[in-house]
Structure 1
Amino acid sequence: MGPRGAQLLAALLVLGLCALAGGEKPSPCRCSRVSTKNRKNCGFPGITSDQCFDYGCCFDSSVSGVPWCFYPLPNEESQCIMEVPARVNCGYPGISREECVSQQCCFDDLVFQVPWCFYPRPVEACHY
């Protein structure tokens, strides 16, 4: 599977997880960690924040020119869920999953040309 296929698979996974979680307001952590350029529209023109939250989506109208109602990051306990640009390398090229995990780091080899072994987000980064 090429880089485009992996990105498409990841996007479909996010959409599927969001559909399952529909109807409940996502945590601020799942919304604030989605960069504006990666927002995927979850609403319609003129949607209100309450309508958006009813869909289980995030709402932020502070930036013009991007979707205000958008899908959150997956709801997982793991601090390894983050956007690819936020990864900080914790390994070396070709590191195995086992070696990476033994260093208490996250491993995800689905996206090419980015760190596969990376530091988890601090727990406090998700608490508001």
Structure 2
Amino acid sequence: MVSRGVPFLVMVVILGLCTLVECQKPSPCQCSRLSPHNRKNCGYPGITSEQCFAQGCCFNSSVPGVPWCFEPLPMQEMEQCVMEVSERKNCGFPGISPEECAVRLCCFSNTIPQVPWCFFPKPVADCHY
């Protein structure tokens, strides 16, 4: 038999860890630019938006059948560079340097192979929670 205090204890531990790593509510672009079918669960059944955001995760309950509390897209240097890899539109050429990419006023991220590393930014105005 599991004690009723276990869920409370788990939440206290999560919030404590979150405080240690300075969890923050993700930016709107980190949440809204993620396709619902690509969401990775970050919560548990019945989690509230406040609890989800307190864990540094995104919350959106408007799409049934997918996680409502989910991991955000990785943060980039500029908010307009936050997007799914599949959304990147090439702005450079193979081997372009971060400096050459910046001269073109484009985003640069070389963390994922086989995708454009220099890509066009997207307006932040289309981001929302």
**TM tier, smaller:** 0.5 to 0.7
Given the two structures, how large is their TM-score scaled by the length of structure 1? 0.68
Aligned CA distance change for structure 1 residues 76 and 114 (closer, same or farther; 3 Å): closer
| Match in the other structure for 1:29 | 29
Q: CA deviation at 1:101?
A: 1.7
Q: CA deviation at 1:67?
A: 1.1
| Match in the other structure for 2:46 | 46
Q: CA deviation at 1:48?
A: 2.4
Given the two structures, how large is their TM-score scaled by the length of structure 2? 0.67
% of aligned pairs identical? Answer: 65
Whichever residue aligns with residue 70 of structure 2, its letter is F
> 2: CA distance between counterparts of 1:125 and 1:100?
23
Q: Secondary structure at the match of 2:81?
A: coil
* 5+ long unaligned stretches in structure 2: 1-17
Whichever residue aligns with residue 122 of structure 1, its letter is P
* 5+ long unaligned stretches in structure 1: 1-18
> 2: CA distance between counterparts of 1:38 and 1:87?
16
Q: Which has the larger radius of gyration?
A: 2
> CA RMSD for the aligned pairs?
2.5
- Deviation string, structure 1 residues 71-103 (Cα, Å, up to 9, x no partner): 223455602222111111111223233222221
